[in-house]
Amino acid sequence: MTYVARTVDIELDDLLDLAPAIALDGPKGVGKTATASRRATASWQLDDPAQRSLLEADPEFRDAPAGTLLLDEWQRLPETWDSVRRRVDEGAPPGRFLLTGSASPGPGVDTHSGAGRILSLRMRPLALHERELATPTVSLQALLAGTAGMIDGSTSLTAGDYLRAIERSGFPGIHGQPDRLRRGLLDAYLQRVIDRDLPDLGFAVRRPETLRRWLAAYAAATSTTTSYSRILDATTSGDGSQPAKTTTITYRDQLSRLWLLDPVPGWSPSRNPIARLQQAPKHQLADPALAARLLNLSAPALASASGAAMAGPLFESLAALGVRVAAQAAEARVGHLRTRNGDHEVDLVVEGPDGQVLGIEVKLAASVHDGDVRHLLWLRDQLPDQVVDLLVLTTGRQAYRRRDGVVVVPLALLGA
Distance of CA 52 to the CA centre of its chain: 29
What is the pLDDT, as a whole number, of residue 342? 86
pTM: 0.95
What is the pLDDT, as a whole number, of residue 274? 86
Residues of the chain with pLDDT under 50: 107-113
Q: Contact at 8 Å (CB) between 327 and 407?
A: no
What is the pLDDT, as a whole number, of residue 237? 79
> Kindly report the CA angle at 285 between 281 and 290, in degrees rounded to 5?
155
Q: Is the dihedral of CA 408, 412, 413, 416 positive or negative?
A: positive
Other C-beta atoms closer than 10 Å to the C-beta of 13 total 11
Domains belonging to the chain, first-starting first, are 7-122 (3.40.50.300), 128-415 (no CATH)
pLDDT digits (tens, 9 = 90+) for 280-325: 999 999 999 999 999 999 999 999 999 999 999 999 999 999 999 9
pLDDT digits (tens, 9 = 90+) for 138-165: 999 999 999 999 999 999 999 999 999 9
What is the pLDDT, as a whole number, of residue 115? 60
What is the pLDDT, as a whole number, of residue 109? 45
User: How are the residues of the chain apportioned to helix, strand and coil, as percentages rounded to the nearest 5?
Assistant: 40, 15, 45
What is the pLDDT, as a whole number, of residue 278? 86
What is the pLDDT, as a whole number, of residue 250? 94
What is the pLDDT, as a whole number, of residue 105? 65
